[in-house]
Amino acid sequence: MAVAYERKAFPPVPEIKRIGIIGAGQMGGGIAQVAATSGILVDLVDLSAERIEATLQRIDGLLDRQIAKGNLTAEEKEAALSRIHTGESFDKLSEADLVVEAATENEEIKKKIFRELVPHLKADALVASNTSSISITRLAAQTDRPERFIGMHFMNPVPAMKLVEVIRGIATEEETYQAIRRLAEKMGKQAVTAEDFPAFIVNRVLLPMINEAVYTLYEGVGTVESIDTAMKLGANHPMGPLELADFIGLDTALSIMQVLYEGLADSKYRPCPLLVKYVEAGWLGRKVKRGFYDYRGATPVPTR
Ligand SMILES: NC(=O)c1ccc[n+]([C@@H]2O[C@H](COP(=O)([O-])OP(=O)(O)OC[C@H]3O[C@@H](n4cnc5c(N)ncnc54)[C@H](O)[C@@H]3O)[C@@H](O)[C@H]2O)c1
């Protein structure tokens, strides 16, 4: 259901110099890093202070690696880190020209975030969601500014992956779309436009393939290792599908399959029961050190 807000005329779309990010997880941290190294000020907000701390440390380490490779100087690293400000409440986002939501892939959580965010936004601020699959039009309807709302879908890991999918909701205005494309370019990314249908382009194609790999495991056609090796050597994929599922996060992968299954009402998208079982066990992949592989030792060990 859309939220009823009083319609108002908007001031012009601002130049995006400061972005707020909601969620300091794998994606929020990556977006913060790339924005900060592109000269953009960042306000990074998460419910969990520990998560923010861990993410800042991760960014610190990743920037050190860039220095070691000769891609960044120590001064540039310090300048980038000094652009990232953090906090645990949406008050921190009141100066942002754009707020990018990168919280947990759950529609109810995201809708609640947008309803709570609205009173803190600048009048001219744009709002984006990094959702992998949820309708931009439905999320936009939770705000007072569907015209200024857009999907900005970065890929994981954000610093390494060149693509940003840009998804217009039914109400998204042209100026908002153009501003987000310019921002993607400023962040060194290539934008591709997708229509607002479940899971957009990349995940509409990728997740059913991963889900099918889990079925292949579930039905005993192959082991974790044989499935991943087969797809790496036989289809020239840089990572096996189960390794990739662990990297994405099995909760996120399941959630995307559920969105496809419900949104397109087609049984071909039915989430594999084995994927459901892994998520129920809390074996969510790399981020918790266990998924289709166990990452607690020196080298990953298949769990089946
Ligand atoms: N993981 C991927 O490969 C990938 C790729 C592209 C897009 N995405 C999308 O990015 C989003 C985030 O995914 P992720 O992998 O970073 O997840 P994650 O679990 O690593 O991080 C989510 C973060 O959101 C925080 N959070 C939850 N509710 C919050 C709230 N109300 N306010 C502030 N913070 C809150 C959590 O504390 C957590 O730190 C999802 O929508 C996901 O679909 C993920």
Contact 20, 45 (CB under 8 A): yes
Query: Which residue ranges make up the annotated binding site for NAD(+)?
Result: 23-28, 46, 105, 110, 132, 156, 287
Q: Which of 195, 230, 250 finishes a domain? A: 195
User: How far, CA to CA in Å, does 260 sit from each of 136, 151, 218, 271, 301?
Assistant: 14, 17, 20, 9, 30
What 3-state DSSP class applies to 59?
Answer: helix
Q: What's the chain's average pLDDT? A: 96
Residue 188 has pLDDT above 70, yes or no: yes
Q: How many helices (H) and strands (E) does the chain have?
A: 11, 10
Predicted local distance difference test score (pLDDT) of residue 8: 64
Shared domain check, 174 and 28: yes
Q: Domain of 248?
A: 203-302
Residue 167 has pLDDT above 90, yes or no: yes
Q: Is residue 12 part of a domain?
A: no
Specify the CATH number for the domain of residue 82.
3.40.50.720
**Res. 7 pLDDT band, cuts 50 70 90:** low
Verify whether residue 226 is a known catalytic residue.
no
Closest atom, ligand 1, to C-alpha of 287: 20
The reply to whether 11 falls in a domain is: no
Question: Do residue 122 and residue 254 come from a single domain?
Answer: no
pLDDT tens digit sequence for 110-159: 999 999 999 999 999 999 999 998 999 999 999 999 999 999 999 999 99
Residue 165 catalytic? yes
- Catalytic option among 120, 153, 243, 255: 153
How far CA 58 is from CA of 32, 64, 166, 168, 217, in Å, comes to 11, 10, 27, 32, 33
The phi, psi pair for 103, rounded to 5°, reads: -90, 180
What pLDDT does residue 1 have? 72
- Which one of 167, 195, 223 terminates a domain? 195
Inside any domain, residue 288? yes
Contact residues of ligand 1, CB 6 A cut-off: 22-28, 45-48, 51, 102-105, 109, 113, 130-132, 153-156, 248-249, 252, 287
* Interval 37-71: pLDDT, tens: 999 999 999 999 999 999 999 999 999 999 999 99
Same domain for 171 and 48?
yes
Q: How many domains does the chain have?
A: 2
Q: Name the residue at shortest CA distance from atom 40 of ligand 1.
A: 105
**Is 4 a residue whose pLDDT tops 90?**
no
Ligand 1 mean position, distance from CA 43 (Å): 16
